[in-house]
């Protein structure tokens, strides 16, 4: 069935200027001067975040001494893709290193009840055609994704070299051997010719710095380390029967909390949901994969779906487009395209187009608010659950059980927006609106170090390139890269993630394209007998300058948003151009769009000249190489 636009209220029924003011008021209520510093790292009662593994016992082992061609730091989806693409490019000696006990990354650690992917699985799961795999439904369960990650590991024989249950704590370039020395929590001596940073975006849990958090004497855990021993049930059978006589509080109403709350509401004696900012929650619509649809798919379908999703979620549909993904991610653009089509696709300036898009944004958000009102019986609770901000200010979500949970007699929503978060914790529970609520357990669905400083995000104390230069100093004024993946002074090092490249609507597709590029460079360098490779300062400067010339400044949009990791908790930093900006959790993104960025990389590879890279052929020629790389900045 062709995807239809949604039934949103007409613009005339919304007083947009008044709503804009309401959005600002809701934002201001939540602004905290501390910005990112309101969060703390898990210590004491939360040591399990760094130590141990609730899913698999950690076996003590001797320190390793190992020499590898490529160390891929991470065994989540980006690390898996890096290893796969290296293998496909003929590079052997690839080793994934991960804190977890297996492949999977976030899907390894996060096994809280209800975990599913909020993205279309036919886009999110990489290599579907190659693996001959089809997800069982549109929004796949966490367990299915984890199993799929393992199956890629087996298929591409990634297990042979992988080092698990090993936390990388630092990296140091050793010029005398032209290798990276990898510092781990197991005291290993691992030397790698190349390193790929595939450490993900959601790898380090964070906690709200609530006064008294560690005085609480009851049970506490972060959702990324769910304790089924305490709650009862298991990740495969989340019947949380041990909570039947427990009073539980959960902090957070983001993507994670939203999936766990229906389970907590169903099983706990009493559940308090502590909400600072409501999420936007649409219906899920999660049918099993239709085998008849699968039969219609032609080779190359996944790439086409990615391109379609890119237009649906970010760039806007073109005349004649059909929305294949057809969910809440693509709603604004789908509705807008339907209206423009009905008007014969009028010529619009960029300003006019953005104004139309903004109007549709208000209409979609109004539909979401009406949805809450129609589902939640207590109107005060319903009002507190309504989101008042632009659609892309926070991550949109879908769930069919969330709102109904607030109709249960044992579930209480406590809106802590007026105090900018939970006021305090005590030995017995938490304080909200000056009242102490006693609980047996507090669950922290408080997210991850997504937009904090790099050292916190990576968890590396030491990260030194040539001449002992720290990456944190090197990038103190912002990223300086070639194509967002390599940086001068840090030879043989690649970054997968959100630094200074194109933005794809599908995180995993973006990672995949980056890994293909890195694998190409590494295989070429190895094939040419190159000992070390890095961008020249000139090439890097030229890329950064081009990047900044075409950049789209999102500062005004982000300023209007309610605080979250999407806008660095509304905390500004000084941008590379000296202006105050919000650190985007997606890094700096290429202003000409994903397709243009992909073409830039493809053209660069097609040329085969490794333009802009300085190649050090062998240790014998190291001296001139060093001189070349020591030009004054």
Q: Is 416 a binder of ligand NDP (CB under 6 A)?
A: yes
Compute the least distance from the CB of residue 329 to ligand NDP, in Å.
Answer: 11
State residue 441 phi and psi, 5-degree precision: -145, 140
Helix (H, G, I), strand (E, B) or coil at 55: coil
Give the total residue count for the chain: 633
Q: Judged by CB under 6 A, which stretch of 238-246, 414-422, 462-470, 606-614 contacts ligand NDP?
A: 414-422
Candidates 89, 257, 281, 539; binder of ligand NDP (CB under 6 A) is 257
Q: Is 204 a binder of ligand NDP (CB under 6 A)?
A: no
Interface mask (CB under 6 A) for ligand NDP, residues 551-590, using x and -? -------------xx-------------------------
Q: Is 118 a binder of ligand NDP (CB under 6 A)?
A: yes
The answer to whether 252 and 446 have CB atoms below 8 angstroms apart is: yes
The answer to whether 253 and 279 have CB atoms below 8 angstroms apart is: yes
Compute the least distance from the CB of residue 336 to ligand NDP, in Å.
Answer: 24
Interface mask (CB under 6 A) for ligand NDP, residues 11-50, using x and -? -------------------x--------------------
The answer to whether 70 and 94 have CB atoms below 8 angstroms apart is: yes
Map the footprint of ligand NDP across residues 128-157, applying CB under 6 A.
Answer: none
Q: Is 325 a binder of ligand NDP (CB under 6 A)?
A: no
Q: How far lies 532's CA from each of 173, 193, 336, 576, in Å? A: 11, 8, 50, 28
Candidates 153, 208, 265, 387; binder of ligand NDP (CB under 6 A) is 208
Compute the least distance from the CB of residue 15 to ligand NDP, in Å.
Answer: 25
Strands (E), 410-501: 411-415, 424-425, 429-432, 435-438, 441-444, 462-464, 493-495, 500-501
Map the footprint of ligand NDP across residues 420-439, applying CB under 6 A.
Answer: 421-422
| Nearest one of 19, 191, 3, 184 to 93, comparing CA atoms | 191
Candidates 168, 183, 210, 505; binder of ligand NDP (CB under 6 A) is 210
Q: In this structure, what token pair is assigned to residue 204? A: 């380090």
Candidates 86, 162, 251, 281; binder of ligand NDP (CB under 6 A) is 251
Q: Is 333 a binder of ligand NDP (CB under 6 A)?
A: no
Q: Angle 64-67-69 (CA atoms, 0-180°, nearest 5)? A: 135
The smaller minimum CB distance to ligand NDP, of residues 117 and 532, is found at 117
Residue 509 CB partners (closer than 8 Å, separation 6+): 123, 126, 306
The answer to whether 239 and 216 have CB atoms below 8 angstroms apart is: no
Compute the least distance from the CB of residue 151 to ligand NDP, in Å.
Answer: 19
Compute the least distance from the CB of residue 252 to ligand NDP, in Å.
Answer: 3
Q: Is 281 a binder of ligand NDP (CB under 6 A)?
A: no
The smaller minimum CB distance to ligand NDP, of residues 387 and 535, is found at 387
Q: Angle 83-86-91 (CA atoms, 0-180°, nearest 5)? A: 120
The smaller minimum CB distance to ligand NDP, of residues 100 and 616, is found at 100
Q: Is 277 a binder of ligand NDP (CB under 6 A)?
A: yes
The smaller minimum CB distance to ligand NDP, of residues 218 and 535, is found at 218
Compute the least distance from the CB of residue 337 to ligand NDP, in Å.
Answer: 25
Compute the least distance from the CB of residue 31 to ligand NDP, in Å.
Answer: 11
Q: Is 280 a binder of ligand NDP (CB under 6 A)?
A: no
Q: Is 117 a binder of ligand NDP (CB under 6 A)?
A: yes
Residue 124 half-sphere exposure, CB side, CA atoms within 13 Å? 21
A 10 A CB-CB count for 103 gives: 28
Q: Is 119 a binder of ligand NDP (CB under 6 A)?
A: yes
| Nearest one of 441, 109, 402, 525 to 246, comparing CA atoms | 441
Q: How far apart are CA 62 and CA 497, in angstroms?
A: 32
The smaller minimum CB distance to ligand NDP, of residues 262 and 447, is found at 447
Helix axes 507-527, 77-88, angle to 10 degrees: 40
Q: Judged by CB under 6 A, which stretch of 116-124, 212-220, 374-382, 596-604 contacts ligand NDP?
A: 116-124
Q: How far apart are CA 148 and CA 150, in angstroms?
A: 5
The answer to whether 127 and 152 have CB atoms below 8 angstroms apart is: yes
A 10 A CB-CB count for 90 gives: 11
Q: How far apart are CA 281 and CA 406, in angstroms?
A: 13
Q: Is 255 a binder of ligand NDP (CB under 6 A)?
A: yes
Interface mask (CB under 6 A) for ligand NDP, residues 441-480, using x and -? ----xxxx--------------------------------
Candidates 96, 166, 256, 487; binder of ligand NDP (CB under 6 A) is 256
Candidates 252, 465, 535, 575; binder of ligand NDP (CB under 6 A) is 252
Compute the least distance from the CB of residue 317 to ligand NDP, in Å.
Answer: 23
The smaller minimum CB distance to ligand NDP, of residues 166 and 310, is found at 310
Q: Is 125 a binder of ligand NDP (CB under 6 A)?
A: no
Sign of CA dihedral 416, 422, 423, 426: positive
The smaller minimum CB distance to ligand NDP, of residues 499 and 565, is found at 565
The smaller minimum CB distance to ligand NDP, of residues 162 and 210, is found at 210
Q: Judged by CB under 6 A, which stretch of 10-18, 61-69, 225-233, 249-257 contacts ligand NDP?
A: 249-257
Candidates 395, 546, 559, 605; binder of ligand NDP (CB under 6 A) is 395
| Nearest one of 333, 337, 343 to 364, comparing CA atoms | 333
Q: In this structure, what token pair is assigned to residue 405? A: 């949970």
Q: How far apart are CA 337 and CA 355, in angstroms?
A: 14
**Residue bearing tokens 């087996």:** 154
Residue 182: which H helix or E strand, with range? strand 179-184
Instruction: Please spell the DSSP secondary structure of 211-279, one letter per residue.
Output: TTGGG--SEEEEGGG--HHHH-S-SSS---GGGTT-EEEEE--SHHHHHHHHHHHHH-SEEEEEESSPP
Compute the least distance from the CB of residue 301 to ligand NDP, in Å.
Answer: 22
Q: Judged by CB under 6 A, which stretch of 17-25, 117-125, 128-136, 147-155 contacts ligand NDP?
A: 117-125
Candidates 266, 276, 363, 512; binder of ligand NDP (CB under 6 A) is 276
Compute the least distance from the CB of residue 136 to ligand NDP, in Å.
Answer: 15
State residue 124 phi and psi, 5-degree precision: -70, -45
**Size of the residue set binding ligand NDP (CB under 6 A):** 28
Candidates 79, 249, 254, 312; binder of ligand NDP (CB under 6 A) is 254
**Residue bearing tokens 């984890």:** 146
| Nearest one of 206, 278, 236 to 444, comparing CA atoms | 206
Interacting residue ranges for ligand NDP, rule: CB under 6 A: 30, 116-119, 202, 208, 210, 251-257, 274, 276-277, 395, 416, 421-422, 445-448, 564-565
């Amino acid at each position: 069935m062709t995807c239809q636009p949604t039934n949103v209220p007409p613009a005339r029924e919304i007083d947009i200027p008044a709503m804009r003011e309401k959005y600002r008021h809701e934002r201001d209520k939540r602004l905290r001067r501390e910005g990112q510093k309101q969060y703390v790292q898990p210590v004491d009662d939360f040591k399990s975040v760094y130590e141990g593994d609730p899913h698999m016992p950690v076996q003590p082992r001797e320190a390793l001494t190992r020499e590898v061609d490529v160390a891929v730091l991470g065994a989540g989806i980006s690390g898996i893709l890096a290893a796969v693409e290296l293998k496909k490019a003929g590079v052997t000696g690839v080793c994934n290193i991960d804190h977890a006990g297996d492949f999977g990354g976030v899907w390894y650690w996060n096994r809280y009840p209800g975990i599913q992917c909020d993205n279309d699985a036919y886009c999110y799961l990489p290599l579907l055609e190659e693996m001959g795999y089809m997800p069982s439904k549109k929004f796949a369960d966490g367990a299915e994704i984890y199993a799929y990650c393992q199956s890629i590991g087996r298929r591409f024989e990634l297990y042979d070299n992988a080092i698990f249950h090993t936390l990388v704590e630092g990296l140091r370039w050793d010029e005398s051997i032209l290798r990276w020395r990898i510092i781990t929590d197991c005291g290993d001596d691992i030397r790698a010719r190349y390193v790929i940073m595939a450490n993900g975006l959601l790898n380090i849990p964070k906690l709200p710095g609530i006064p008294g958090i560690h005085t609480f004497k009851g049970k506490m855990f972060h959702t990324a380390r769910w304790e089924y021993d305490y709650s009862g049930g298991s990740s495969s059978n989340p019947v949380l029967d041990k909570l039947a006589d427990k009073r539980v509080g959960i902090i957070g109403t983001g993507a994670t909390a939203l999936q766990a709350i229906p389970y907590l509401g169903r099983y706990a004696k009493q559940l308090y949901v502590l909400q600072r900012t409501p999420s936007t929650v649409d219906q899920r619509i999660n049918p099993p994969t239709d085998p008849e649809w699968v039969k219609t798919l032609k080779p190359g379908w996944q790439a086409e779906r990615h391109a379609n999703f890119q237009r649906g979620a970010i760039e806007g549909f073109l005349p004649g487009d059909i929305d294949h993904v057809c969910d809440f991610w693509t709603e604004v653009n789908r509705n807008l395209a339907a209206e423009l089509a009905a008007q014969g696709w009028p010529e619009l300036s960029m300003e006019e187009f953005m104004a139309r898009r903004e109007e549709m944004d208000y209409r979609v958000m109004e539909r979401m608010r009406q949805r809450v009102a129609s589902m939640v019986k207590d109107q005060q609770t319903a009002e507190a659950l309504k989101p008042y901000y632009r659609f892309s200010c926070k991550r949109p979500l879908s769930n069919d059980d969330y709102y109904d949970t607030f109709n249960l007699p044992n579930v209480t929503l406590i809106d802590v927006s007026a105090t900018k978060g939970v006021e305090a914790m005590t030995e017995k529970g938490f304080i909200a609106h000056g009242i102490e609520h006693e609980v047996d357990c507090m669950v922290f669905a408080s997210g991850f170090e997504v937009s904090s400083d790099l050292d916190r995000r990576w968890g590396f104390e030491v990260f030194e390139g040539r001449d002992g230069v720290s990456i944190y100093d090197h990038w103190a004024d912002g990223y300086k890269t070639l194509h967002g993946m390599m940086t001068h002074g840090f030879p043989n090092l690649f970054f997968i993630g959100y630094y200074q490249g194109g933005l794809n609507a599908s995180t995993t597709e973006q990672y995949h394209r980056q890994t293909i590029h890195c694998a190409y460079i590494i295989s070429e360098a190895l094939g040419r007998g190159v000992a070390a490779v890095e961008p020249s300062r000139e090439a890097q400067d030229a890329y950064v300058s081009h990047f900044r010339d075409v950049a789209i400044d999102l500062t005004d949009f982000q300023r209007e948003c309610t605080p979250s990791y999407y806008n660095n908790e509304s905390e500004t930093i000084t941008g590379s151009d000296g202006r105050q900006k919000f650190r985007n959790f997606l890094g700096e993104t290429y202003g000409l769009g994903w397709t243009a960025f992909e073409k830039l990389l493809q053209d660069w590879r097609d040329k085969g000249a490794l333009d802009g890279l300085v190649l050090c052929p062998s240790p014998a020629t190291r001296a001139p190489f060093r001189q070349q790389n020591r030009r004054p900045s």
